[in-house]
Every structure is written in C-alpha cells, then in structure tokens.
Structure 1
C-alpha cells in the first residue's frame, strides 16, 4: 500500500508530505484550491507524461515521491521482481520522479537511477489514477478485452494463448530465417565447396609452418652447416686434448679440494655444469650431422609449402588456427545446406503444428468470452445502474478479429491471432431507453463514464492485492441523493485496499475513512497549496461547507449546515457499524 506521498516544488506545492491510510480517503476543497495537483502528482508516479510548466516558479527541480509498504503483498512483490525491481527485506519501495525545467527528467527507484518504462510497470501494479480524461480507455479494445477476461477469470486461457502464440511466432521466425539462409546458401554452395576442398587439400598444421623456415635455411646452407658442426664436434670429443677431456681433468683436480673452500666449491659446481652442457651439445651436434641432407632437391618442395601457407593467409585474411576453424564451419555449412530440404520440411511441420495449437487455444478463449459476456454484462448493469444510471444497458461484444492476410484459421475464419487471442472485444452502452447503443466514449458524458468505470472496477477480480485507486470528479453532474450509491460503492471498493476520491459532494465525503482538505495559503508573498487532515469538528465544518455547494466559503457555514453535516456523518457511521456496506459485489461470472 501507499504509505506516504511526498511532493516538492510542483505547481503550487512548496513542500508537501501526505500520510496515506488504508480504506477510502476523501479529498475536498474549494474550486481552484489545487485538488487536481494531488491527482497529477500520483499520475506522475505511474509514468504518465509530464505537463508543461510543472516546476514551481523560481525553481529548477520539482519531484514527487511515493513510499510503498509491500511487506504483506507477496504477489505484488513477485510481480515487481519479475520486472527487475529490487526490494529490501522489509518490503519497502520508494519511487521518485524528478522534473527539471531544462527537460532532463529522471526516475529513481529505491535510490537507484532507473527508466520511465520500469516506473510505468511499477505504476500499473501499485497505482490507478482515474480522471474523466482517463476514462477514455474504456473505448480501447485492448482495455475492454482485458477487463472482460479479468472478470471471467481467464488468466489460465490467456496464459495458454500467450505461450502458444510465442512458440508459434518463434518457429515462424526461425523458419523464415532458415529459408533466407538456404536461399543465400544455394548461391554460395559452389564457393563453399571450392574453399573447403582447397583448405582440406592443404592439410594445414599449426605446428608445421614455424619449422618450415628453419628447414629452408638449413637446406640452403647444408654444406656450410655440416662443416661447422663437424669442426665443433671434433673440438668437443675428437682429439687427444679435446674440450670434454680438459673439463674432466679440471674436475678431478678440484674434486680433491671439495668442501674446504666455498669459492672453490662454487667453481667446482660450474665445471660440472659445463661438462654436462658440453656432453649435451655433442649429442645435439651428432644428431644434426646424422639428419642433414646435402641433396638440394628438397629445397623447392619446402619453399612451395611455405608459399602455400603465405598464400592461404593472404587470400582468406586469417592465420592458421582461424583457417582451420573456417574449414570446420565450411564443412558444417555445406552439410546443413545439402540437408536443407529435409530440415525446412520438418521445421515447417513444427510451425504448422504450433499454428494449429495457438488457433485452438484462441478458440477456447473465445468460447469462454462469448459464454460469459452476457452474464458479466447483466452483473455490470446491476452494479452500475444505482450509480445514477438507472436505465443503463451494457453489453460486452465479442467478435473475430479478422485478418486481411497472414492470419490463422480459427473456427473457419481467417483471424489476426495475437498473444491476447483472436477477438475484438467492445463495450457498448445505451444510457437511456430509446437511444442508440454505442461505445462509451461516443455517447456518455465524462461523469457517467467515470461511474461506469467505477462499477466495472468494482467487479474486476484483482486478487487480494488491488492497486490504490484514485477517482477524480467521479460525481460530476450528480446531486447529493443520486451520489449516495456511488459513495457506497467507493467504500466497498476500498475494503482491504486504498481508494482516494476527489469530490465536491457531502454525501460522498461522509463515507470516507479519512478526509483531506486542499486549500491555498499565502506565505512570504507566494501562494502555496496546503492539505489538512480533517477530524471531528473540522470535518463537520467541511461537510457543512460542501452542503452549501463547492463555491461556499468556510466562513459562510451556519449552525444549521453543521447540524445537517453531523447527521450525515452519524448516518454513515451507523451504516458502517451495521454492516450495511459489507457484502459481495458479485462473482464476475
């Protein structure tokens, strides 16, 4: 739930902190007092567009902040975590919208810079700000479709359609990609085969090329190298006085003094190392002499092999390891291309099966909608007619969403199947007998539209964790007596949740659990918006002022008005105590 709303330097607001309670909160105030600023601030927390000139004059930054306690709302927490929101162990969430005069606005969530898109996702879960302008969403097919599905508890079927649709679209995209790949591959196949054969025939080896350079040098200078190696071997081992013999004599001489002088012991160690090194060198030279080939005929072959490596690196612009990897890829491409016909056929079959599955799921969802639309319509009429719409006729209309091309066959019709099904769902109303039936936005006033929305909202099955609902001007065009059922429904809607209602009618205000009053005041020569929480006599005075009309000033309230206000408040309290506002709104189906 929303625990606190904080507003700073926004419009007429200097600094405002509003603790928000559970249940129904009423907001009243004289015309122009700034009540809509509260609704506007909450709308900003849902991610709505920022109006112009919202930052208070003389300031560069305005902000609005909502503090939410979600510790008891496990489903909401799970939903937000899926959106990428990090919540603390205490379940607290703070969302903040910063509005700068230079247009560089920011969103901050739990102290971390975030995106407007994420704020909109959070706002959808936690806040619903309903003004007359926003009731136009009742004419949006997507909104009406979601509304009907929620009242019919179609989450299981919607989920099945969504999953089947995602699988179908993924396979369709994969099939199209493979077809393009195969088409391009047909043009490249001969090239791939030539390159594969060329690289395979070359028998490249990452360890071969470095040895080629040495082999070529040795081949070119074989005689010279043989002569040098033989002379070196002779000096090491081949004479009466050779290097190994001299080293042996020196070792025997120093060995007699071993352990008597540290410096001589060091020299003795060096001689032993030299003797071992000389022996190893002699073996290496002997092996070289055994292996050397004085025949110059192999030089051309070595140079040709070296040239092949250089040519392939230049041609393909890859080193040897990458050439070997490219050969592997070519082999795979060719094999895949050569088996493409069978692969495409199998993939097309899977795609068609998925299309059949999503069409079947969409048809099942359509049948649920059609079967339940009439019952929901009648139930909605029962709830909405007491809201000063006694003759209202309402109908949810379900029809196929036809596709000109690229659709799927759903029950014999080519339909545009999406993640929400294959149907158009419209809401038609007839407010008065003898009038034509039409869509909500076309034939009803703003106040009527608000009350229709209220009734439908009350019917929605939002589970145990509904968002805070704010209704602005829901009683527009109503007199006091006709507004009473609207107030009772607001009170019922607030059970176990939070509802804020901006109203100008006393018969609505008395049903609130909490009551705020917006007013203007002048401080240091500047006009500011202030909000007071009203209790006892202050609330009675405000209800009495409302009885005199929204334009009535507080100073004009008389004793008779206060007495009438006390009676209305007492009647509302007695109704609460008797359970008159308790009861089921309907089962939605």
Structure 2
C-alpha cells in the first residue's frame, strides 16, 4: 500500500505531505486545486518520464517521494529482495527533478536507475485515469487484458519462446537459401577460376626466378664470350694468371727459406693460385651448363606471360593468386556444406513449427473459454453500475492470413508473435443494438464504468495492492455515481483505493477524506491538503452538492448521504 507521499516545489505545490491508510481514500476540491498534480507525482514515482517543466517557478529543483509497504511475497517485495532491498523496511522512492542538471532517482536512500525503478514498481500500484481510458480504447492491448484475466502469462511466454525460435530458424534458413542461390549462380565462374589457376599451377616467387632465367637466356652469347675470355686468362692461356701465380709462389718460398718472416706471404701466394684455379673451374662448369637453345627462351617468355595474366586478374602478385585460389576452394566446399546445413535447419524448423502450432492451439482454446467468462463477468459488473442489459463481448479475431506456410497452422490460422488471434472488446449498451467495438459506441460515462468494471475484475488477479482512480466520475452522476462509489467501496475491502472525485455520491463512500484547496500567499499560488475529521465531512459534501453557498438543507442532505454510505 501507499503509506506516505511528499511533494516539494512541484508545479503549484510548494510543500505537501499526505499520509494514507487502508480502505478507500477520497480526495476532493475545486477544479485547478492541484488534484491532477498529485496523480502526476505518483506516476513519476511509478516510473513515468521526468519533465523539468514541472518544477515550481522560481526553484532549481523539485522533489517527490513516497513510502510504499508492499505485501509479503508480492511481486514488488520479491523484486526488492532480488535487489538486496529488505521488503520489511518498505520501499522508499525519491525522485529529484533538476532545472539545470540530470534528474535523479533514489531508492531506499541509494541512487538508482530508471530500469530498477520500473522493475520494482511494475506491479506496485495501478492508476485508472485518462490513461486507463485510452488503454481501454487501444485494441492492441485487449489481448493482454484477456490473458491477464485468464492467468495465461506462462502459456503465452511458452508460446512466444517457441515462436521466436521458429522465426529465428526461418530467417536463418532463408538467409542460407539466398546465399546458396547466389553460390549456385557463381558456381560455374568459381569452377572456371579454380581450373584456370590449377592448370597454370603457379609457385610462389616463380615469376622472380623466371625473370632471372629470361635475362640469362637473352644474353647467353655475350655471357659465353665474356666468361670464355675470363677462363682463358685465368687458367688456360699461355700467360694465364693461375700459372703466373704459381711461379710467384715458388719465388716467395725461396725467399722464405732465407727469411722465416716471409712464410705467411708464401702461404698467401699459394692460396691466391688455388683460388684462381677454383674460380676458373666454377666458370667452366657454368659455361658447360649453359643452355643456348632459343626454344627455351620462348618457353620462359610464354610462362611469364601466363603468370602476368593471372596476377592482373587475381591480385597483382603470385602470393595473391594462390590466396585467391585458396579462398575459391573454401567457398566451393562451403557450397557443398550448405545443403547439409539447410537440411538440418529444415528439420529444426519442422519441429519448431509443430511445437508453436501446438502451443498456439492450447492458447487459443484457453482464450476462447476465458473470453466468455470475462464477458459475463463484465456484464455483471456493469449491471451493478446501472448498465443492466448491456452486452459485452471479447471477440477473438484471426490474424491476417500469412503467405508463409511456416507461419500458419493449417489452412486458416496464421501464427503471430502473441498467438493465433487478436482480441477486441465489443459492447452493446442498449437492448436490441448490435455489439460494436468499444471505441465506436461507448460514451464518456459508459467508458468510465467499463474501466471500473474491468479494474474490479482484473484486480482479483492483480498483485497490486493500491488502485488510484482519477476521473472515474467522468460523464456520470446521480444514481450511476452512487453505484460507482459503492463498487469502489467494495473493492476497498481487498485493496487500498484512492479516488479523486467531484461527485458527493462517490465521495461519501470513502473511509478517509482529504480536501485539496488552492490558496494565494504572498503573491504565489500554493496547494494545501487537509484530512477531514468526521464532523468536517458533511460541509465538504455540502460544498460538492451545492457550491460555495451552503445551507442547512444541503448540510442535512450531506449528512444523510454519509449515513447511507456507512450503514
């Protein structure tokens, strides 16, 4: 339940504290006194978006805070325990709106995020005001209301998990099919490229080696002439260097026999002669192995031309050509594995489809059964609210037919994110009329009572302990208002009910009554709230009955209303 609410510098409220109790609490006051601002403050504490424009003029910040006492084992209490907040201490929420900096949230004295606030307050309190009227007219929410009434959240969650797996597998299979089609279109071209590179069978750096060979073959005659001359002068000619070095070696040996310090010089001369002979031998081998065949040059030229063409087509280097071939071969293998993957995905898709269709049928059957029960329950509640003879129906409408066979259950039913159908609330307020969508036939008063009827029914299944009614008296009066007030009083037996109203026929049923008034002090408007004592309530009801001028007759009528409501 909501135990205490404090508001500071919020709109026209400078400093206001309200302490609430169990049962039915009524708030009344003149139009513009600030009743709607109190609802805005509560909405803010339940997680609605903060707006700096709500800060009271002349101030840099506004604060709203509340203490909730969630029942043990309620969703709010369990959420608190899951976030290391002892439920027995209550849930203290404080929001600070800043005109210059970021807005802040505090939960039990600690800074918190909007996400945590939403988790803790999701089923803490329920506000039935203008927003509830809009929700009731939004046909996209009717199915959620039916499922909530029927307690189908678990069944719906199982279905949605299966449907998500179905659509995920379907997207994966479709993506793989598109990839496979593209691969098939490219298959011949890929095969041609692989064959072209395989037939050429290039080696890394082969082009560099061939360039060297081509240069040698192009200049073979020049090389032969030059090297033959060098060999002749080194070793084979009459004045060959090798022979002359041998003679010099012998002369230095003679000198070394006379002076031992020349032994190393003699050894160096011998080494020069031997190295000269080795060089000549190496060059002779090179000359003997030279290929002077012009056909060899033609083959090298042709091979280099082939490799050059491959490099231009596939990356600019032989390393790139070889990497391209490796990539092509990998893609070719993947194309083969795609078929196996698609077969496996199809089997998974069939299993997901069977399970989703099965869960969808179960959900549809339970919805059909609960739709009839909800309709009868709403009709009974509306009868209590002076709408006897009203027919209410929860129409279950099939989804638009899907073109995808995997998103269908048989020939007729399509499968959607929330099941096989949508829901639409239909009503016939007058006997003999045809049931039509609620948004097209309900007047303001009929809509208010339908909201109250649904709130009364759904409250039996809701975990919230606090229900706030704002504008519940829109479009009604007289005996209808009396019926609405009595219904709220009945609801207050199991829930904390807070009602803002202009009608004395509703206000009289309250166990507690606050009067909200707007005053002007020192040139500034401010809102004040006062808990009426039992002896003060007749005057407030008299004001609501007859306005500012209160007569003894009006007061007597007010006392009579209070006596009727609490006997």
Range with greater deviation from structure 2 (117-126 or 15-24) = 117-126
Show the counterpart of 2:145: 147
SS in 1 for 2:123: helix
Contact 1:388 1:483 in 2 (8 A): no
Equivalent position of 2:396 in the other structure: 398
Contact 2:96 2:103 in 1 (8 A): yes
Matches within 5 A, 1:461-472: 462-463=460-461, 465-472=463-470
Q: CA deviation at 1:534?
A: 1.3
Name the counterpart of 2:275: none
Classify the secondary structure of the residue corresponding to 1:14. Answer: strand
Map Cα deviations across residues 161-204 of structure 1 (whole Å, 9 max, x no partner).
12322332343355456667778999899999xxxxxxxx99xx
Match of 1:412 in 2: 411
Q: 1:363 to 1:535 in 2, by over 3 A?
A: same
Is 1:536 the counterpart of 2:529 in the alignment?
no
- Gap change, CA 1:80 and 1:168, over 3 Å in 2: farther
**Conserved in 2, the CA contact under 8 Å of 1:428 and 1:438?**
yes
Cα pair 2:402 2:408 within 8 Å, conserved: no
Shift in CA distance, 17/182, structure 1 to aligned 2, threshold 3 Å: farther
**1:563–1:10: structure 2 CA closer, same or farther, 3 Å change rule?**
same
Q: How many residues align structurally?
A: 446
Q: Secondary structure at the match of 1:394?
A: strand
Q: Report the Cα offset of residue 503 of structure 1.
A: 1.0
Q: Which residue of 1 aligns with 2:420?
A: 422
Change (3 A) 1:334 1:534: farther
Aligned to 1:494: 492
Shift of residue 24, structure 1, vs aligned partner: 1.3
Change (3 A) 1:331 1:9: farther
Q: 1:28 Cα shift?
A: 0.6
> Could you list the per-position Cα deviations for residues 468-525 of structure 1 after superposition, in whole angstroms to 9, with x for gaps in the alignment?
2211121223223221221121122222322111111222112112211110122332
> What residue in structure 1 maps to residue 56 of structure 2?
56
Q: Do the aligned residues in 2 keep the contact of 1:9 with 1:61 (CA within 8 Å)?
A: yes
Shift of 1:92: 2.5
Of residues 145, 159, 162, the one that matches 2:157 is 159
Q: 1:557 aligns with which of 533, 550, 553?
A: 550
Question: Where do 1:432-581 residues align within 5 Å?
Answer: 432-435=430-433, 437-460=435-458, 462-463=460-461, 465-548=463-546, 552-553=547-548, 556-574=549-567
Q: Deviations over 1:47-83 (max 9, x none)?
A: 335568422111122232232222524433335677x
Asked if the contact 2:2–2:68 (Cα under 8 Å) also holds between the matched residues in 1, the reply is yes
Contact 2:25 2:499 in 1 (8 A): yes
Deviation string 1:64-114 (CA, Å, 9 cap, x unpaired) is 2232222524433335677xx552353522333333335844444444544
Distance in 1 between residues matched to 2:164 and 2:137, nearest whole Å = 27
5+ residue gaps in structure 2? 195-202, 205-318, 321-327
Aligned to 1:252: none
Separation in 2 of the partners of 1:123 and 1:440?
29
Secondary structure of 2:515's aligned partner: strand
Q: Please report the RMSD computed on the Cα atoms of aligned residues, expressed in angstroms.
A: 3.9
Say if 1:350 and 1:488 are closer, same or farther in 2 by CA, change over 3 A. Answer: same
Tell me what 1:13 maps to. 13
Change in CA separation of 1:454 and 1:336 when aligned onto 2, cut-off 3 Å: same
Instruction: Report the Cα distance in structure 2 between the residues aligned to 1:546 and 1:429, rounded to whole angstroms.
Output: 32
| Distance of aligned partners of 1:175 and 1:96 in 2 relative to their CA distance in 1, 3 Å threshold | farther
Query: Separation in 2 of the partners of 1:182 and 1:103?
Result: 55
Could you tell me how far apart the structure 2 residues matched to 1:333 and 1:495 are? 72
1:37 aligns with 2:37: yes
> Could you say which structure has the larger radius of gyration?
2
- The unaligned stretches of length 5 or more in structure 1 are 193-200, 203-314, 317-329, 575-589
Structure 1's 415 and 37: CA in aligned 2 closer, same or farther, altered over 3 A?
Answer: same
Question: C-alpha offsets along residues 338-379 of structure 1, whole Å, 9 cap, x if unaligned?
Answer: 544223211221122112211221122112222332332122
Determine helix, strand or coil for the equivalent of 2:555: helix
Q: Among 80, 84, 88, which residue is 1:90 paired with? A: 88
Partner of 2:544, secondary structure, is helix
Q: CA deviation at 1:332?
A: 11
SS at match of 1:90: helix
* Gap change, CA 1:439 and 1:50, over 3 Å in 2: farther
